[in-house]
Chain A
Amino acid sequence: MSDTQAVRLAVRKTYKLYIGGAFPRSESGRSYVVTSSKGDFLANASKASRKDARDAVSAARKAFAGWSGATAYNRGQILYRIAEMLEGRRAQFVAELTEAGTRKAKDAGGIVDAAIDRLVWYAGWSDKIAAVAGAANPVAGPYLNISSPEPTGVVAVIAPDEPLLGLVSVIAPVIVTGNTCVVVASERAPLPSITLAEVLATSDLPGGVVNVLTGSVKEIAPWLAAHMDVNAIDLTGVAEEDLAIACEQAAAENLKRVLRPSAPDWSADPGTKRMTAFLETKTVWHPTGI
């Protein structure tokens, strides 16, 4: 082989949105440049519009009945499957995190491992959270009285700027209990979220359970916060105080459940709070008599 042979040109990936199990471009036709932390060009990511957000909410709502109606065992199996798929693409994520400059190569492996382990951890919660968050209540009368946690519905998630571990840590607790979600990816580092969407799309996760939008948080988050068919919003990734307050205020219109944690430590034990924040307690009474 001679030295003059041209170096093979890589086939690049087009980063699109993930809505209803498909990978469409933004209906607006817009994209924005994603660079590494050093400023190198990485890709043109889709810049989602409010209409993409609307479509994503519709897809999430459509998927809700089936996903919340699936058995807890089945949801756990699928979350575990996501972990398996992620493990299979470990190298790809390490490379993506490294290229983006999010992590040094030696740390990136640990982050990907932690993300995989977190999915496995949450997968196991699917059929246990009801035992922990539910109750048989000893009411003073001839009634059976049972409280069980149920998913609140469609959750809008503004993901943190922690492209894989943070992303997995906000998605898994939402969906493991039966919610569906619309995720707004980290604006600065959106690419791993679309790669994660490819993992989700090949993990038996029904389309629409997780929908991923990339683009401007400032542009999309208020539309999701105000959307009357969204039941809850996770503002973890909203860094700007004014935007967060505006979203909280907009969320009041249909009494969305709002989660706004202060500076999460993604390496810490997550506890159950991210799950219970998006659970309703339903209490059923029935008389006991012959």
Chain B
Amino acid sequence: MFEYAPAPESRDVVDIKPSYGLFIDGEFVDGTGAPFKTINPATEEALAEVAAASQADVDRAVQAARKAFGVWSAMPGSERAKYLFRIARIIQERSRELAVLETLDNGKPIREARDVDLPLVAAHFFYYAGWADKLGYAGYGPDPKPLGVAGQVIPWNFPLLMLAWKIAPALACGNTVVLKPAETTPLTALLFAEICRQADLPPGVVNIVTGAGETGAAVVNHPDVNKVAFTGSTEVGRLIARSVAGSGKKVTLELGGKAANIVFDDAAIDQAVEGIVDGIFFNQGHVCCAGSRLLVQESIAEELLESLKRRLARLRLGDPMDKNTDIGAINSAEQLARVRELSDIGEAEGAERWSPACTLPERGFWFPPTVFTGVAQSHRIARDEVFGPVLAMLTFRTPAEAVEKANNTPYGLSAGVWTEKGSRILWMADRLRAGVVWANTFNKFDPTSPFGGYKESGYGREGGRHGLEAYLDV
């Protein structure tokens, strides 16, 4: 057997400080909440102590953003563009450092942080930089205005990428921001704050307040915030929608999903298998648009399952810092408990559970790639978002049945279709009620491509020309 020797990425490229403050008005300041530790989920080692922003700290951040809004919104778009280009360049220059930090704090494989997250982060800033002086051509009138202060709350699955999705369009449109990174993954946002300083971004344009749910609520509910952008669970999205009701704040929500990945009998089978794997095991399945429901045409179900199992046996689970790792750590003990709970329920409900033979590290939070077969639409593993490396496999007989099952969910974020027949792809794409349809591919992202859901997967789009609307008073 060809065993790959350990190929660890060097940790020395990043200098993690023992403690971090909040980034308000261009300065790192102490928080008045109780500081918390952020840990490496692969080892449970504490990486740093991080300040927690209280309501008063959030208020200071919003005030700083309000003050900066005057300067920033009045600045010619061409100048704002140059700041964003500068930030994009610094991200490229420091991408190794950012990738390593992301992997340490999040648990995702370094290969993904390096090859997916970081290139997309830089590309997102490049893309929206170019819009800053072209907003009059975006289809929202000749001189669309920014909204003001944007309060943004982002999740832990793609910490820096979600920051880019929020901050780049907000700044390009002339807004200033107060952003709260997830409690378990604050470090790359704080390194981004340092990048803002390196770029000489005017103080107060970007403010980063770390903390847990209460800090997020303070950001969202602050009366001087004009715009709320949230990416996370549907449960929290619902709370936010309710709490801002009547405030007149513009809201965009990018929430959960339970995407169907539909494989027809005429699919390019080897690529479909890759797409299924990529769909649910990319980033340990911590992906809102993950293809967590595999719908296979019954006539090829057995054959496909066999291929899938063979492929899963090759997945390399382990040290996220190893360049050959495919599956990293689950982000937190809490998330691991949820994945375990739903998987146990899946088994209790009568679905058949399978995982390839793989040794889980002793420390840290780990869950093996898992496939459930014999799943019915009524099973909770076919309905609830697991947000982990757990695939539920169902079968269908006809294209109409595939569409019906795919749409039979309160979510509507994404879907996949695999068939070599072009007209069927278009027929399916027409009928799938989802914001993104990947045909003969899956989990592809691009700054030019709008992303966002139907139904309970949220509203508003991020990316592309469409992504500007969320940050303009139109």
Contact = CB atoms under 8 A, between A and B. Distances in A.
Q: A and B: direct contact (Cβ < 8 Å)? A: yes
Interface of A: 69, 132-133, 135, 137-141, 143, 145, 147, 152, 231, 241, 244-245, 248-249, 251-255, 257, 273, 280-287
B454 interface: yes
Contact of A281 (B455, B456, B466): B466
A143 B441 contact: yes
A254 B353 CA distance: 32
Interface in B214-266: 234, 237-239, 241-242, 245-246, 253, 255
Interface of B: 123, 139, 234, 237-239, 241-242, 245-246, 253, 255, 410, 425, 429-430, 434-441, 444, 446, 448-452, 454-459, 461, 464-466, 474
Nearest to A145: B449
Given A135-B466, A254-B410, A282 B435 contact: yes
Contacts of B246: 241, 244-245, 248-249
Contacts of A141: 444, 446
A231 B455 contact: yes
Given A139-B448, A141-B446, A241-B246, A282 B437 contact: yes
A287 B245 contact: no
A147 B450 contact: yes
A247 to B, nearest CB: 8
Counting chain A CB atoms within 10 Å of each CB, the highest count among B237, B429, B461, B474 belongs to: B429
Nearest to A245: B246
Contacts of A152: 454
Given A140-B448, A251-B241, 16 more contacts: A69-B430, A138-B448, A143-B441, A145-B446, A147-B449, A147-B464, A248-B241, A248-B246, A249-B246, A254-B456, A280-B454, A281-B466, A283-B451, A285-B444, A286-B440, A287-B441
B204 to A, nearest CB: 29
Q: Which 9 A-B pairs have the closest CB atoms?
A: A248-B245, A245-B246, A252-B241, A139-B446, A252-B242, A137-B448, A249-B245, A286-B439, A284-B437
6 contacts: A137-B446, A249-B242, A252-B238, A252-B241, A273-B474, A285-B436
A284 B255 CA distance: 19
B465 A135 contact: yes
Contacts of A245: 245-246
A198 B27 CA distance: 66
A199 to B, nearest CB: 31
A253 B238 contact: yes
A72 to B, nearest CB: 13
Contacts of A280: 435, 454
B455 A286 contact: no
B104 to A, nearest CB: 28
A285 B455 contact: no
A37 to B, nearest CB: 30
Given A147-B464, A273-B474, A285 B438 contact: yes
B439 A255 contact: no
Given A252-B245, A285-B437, A257 B444 contact: no
Contacts of A284: 429, 436-439
B439 A283 contact: no
A283 B449 contact: yes
A231 B449 CA distance: 24
Counting chain B CB atoms within 10 Å of each CB, the highest count among A133, A245, A249, A281 belongs to: A281
A137 B238 contact: no
A147 B466 contact: yes
A21 to B, nearest CB: 24
B410 to A, nearest CB: 7
A281 B461 contact: yes
A281 B435 contact: yes
Given A140-B446, A273-B474, A282 B436 contact: yes
Counting chain B CB atoms within 10 Å of each CB, the highest count among A69, A138, A286 belongs to: A286
B106 to A, nearest CB: 24
A280 B412 CA distance: 11
A282 B425 CA distance: 14
Nearest to B448: A137
A282 B407 CA distance: 14
A133 B464 CA distance: 12
Counting chain A CB atoms within 10 Å of each CB, the highest count among B123, B246, B441, B458 belongs to: B246
A145 to B, nearest CB: 5
Given A241-B246, A255-B237, A283-B436, A137 B459 contact: no
A92 to B, nearest CB: 38
A10 B456 CA distance: 52
Contacts of A287: 440-441
Contacts of B241: 248, 251-252, 255
A147 B234 CA distance: 24
A65 to B, nearest CB: 9
